[in-house]
Amino acid sequence: MGMRAPHGPRLRVAGTIVVLVLAWLAAPVGPGSDTAAGATEPRYIYGQPVEYPLTFPVGGDDIYFADDDLIGFGACRDGCARRHEGVDLLAPKMTPVYAAADATVTWLGTFCCSVFLQHDDGWRTWYIHLNNDTEGTDDGLGWGIAEGIVPGARVVAGQLIGWVGDSGNAEDTTPHLHFELHAPGGIKVDPYPALILAQTGVTCTRQRPAPLESLLAAGPTLRRGSSGQAVLELQGFLKVQGYRVGKVDGIFGTATEAAVRRFQVRQGLLADGVVGPATRGAVSALAAEKGFAGLADLAGRILKVGTSGADVKELKRWLRAAGFDPGPRPFTARFDEATLAAVRAFQTAQGLTPDGMVGPMTRSALLTTLAIVGPEVCRPDE
């Protein structure tokens, strides 16, 4: 996806976003819940793409969005032990950086040359990798934080606060601003749609892909050395099924190949470690079964203590794959106290209200955490 702004800087989106794409529901600001009703204010959860009104934070005419699977919001870091939690705006060093809203400066980072702002409405923005090259060092272009930008200082939207650089752990990368947006309560959200709107005045409609859409599409054969969204979904699916795939990183390596072979043996297929039409067909058949399809359906029934069925048994598999213990195996089809504890732990880790009920928000968080769904596509409105 890419477009050029009708006025102002150029915009290029490189590749696809691997992002924690969640269900977006209306409810009070704060941790999300699957049980709240009658809410009148928006609720935000980790990784949610938002169209929060802001002033575009980077000046100049040579600005590019970096939103591929290595850079976009939610991209894996350290083997997915942590995530990339912002959007990178590539621009030449010493390109001006502006406050996105009226705010108060809350923190300056000297090592990575950062500015954190607390907006008057409770939102926050972080500006990271500002230039840290003092005269006579590195490129000698100068310090990246503007005069007067100190903790406690007041700024207004559009005010100069610094300059683009490559400080901190970005020294070996293209100069860029790492821009983060935090909803009230400190929930980190995806600012990509907000940045598009701020730069171009164009809103976009988000389209959510179906579970395993990229994997099950009629595409190229997947084998060792393949990479991308289809491989990511393959790894997530196999992990849910109980196979050891190594890192869920979208790279078809030896561990993924071994898992595919074991899956093929169990399905009565030629165990060649290659994912072609026959293996895709076996994946499709399992994904259509009552348990998997029921849990993947965001409109499915609320699962809670006392409910039972194939979707509950599938829930336990997904929780185990996500690293949360739902109790002893073999898994039963009953939602018991051990399941409740695992659901609550997962919800807490995802910034959701730990109510122990599995509705659309918790289902969506599971889908994306386990790479069962791909990134939402944000298509500009006409």
80 is a domain residue: no
Please list, in sequence order, all residues whose beta carbon lies within 8 angstroms of the beta carbon of residue 184, skipping any fewer than 6 positions away: 29, 30, 44, 121, 122, 123
Tell me the pLDDT of the chain averaged across its residues. 82
pLDDT tens digit sequence for 50-89 = 889 999 999 987 777 765 445 567 766 665 666 778 889 9
Higher pLDDT: 209 or 306? It is 306
Number of domains observed in the structure of the chain: 1
48 is a domain residue: no
94 is a domain residue: no
pLDDT tens digit sequence for 158-196 = 999 999 988 877 777 788 999 999 999 888 898 988 998
126 is a domain residue: no
Alpha carbons 194 and 202: distance in angstroms, whole number: 10
> Which of 166, 158, 147 lies closest to 93 in space, CA to CA?
166
- pTM listed for this prediction: 0.58
147 is a domain residue: no
Dihedral Cα 96, 52, 367, 1, nearest 10 deg:
-60
291 is a domain residue: yes
pLDDT tens digit sequence for 118-146 = 999 999 999 999 988 755 555 555 678 99
| Residue 222 structural domain | 213-369
123 is a domain residue: no
126 touches 106 (CB < 8 A): no
**Domain harbouring 290, CATH code:** 1.10.101.10
315 is a domain residue: yes
pLDDT tens digit sequence for 265-277 = 999 999 999 999 9
97 touches 123 (CB < 8 A): no
pLDDT tens digit sequence for 99-120 = 999 999 999 876 668 999 999 9
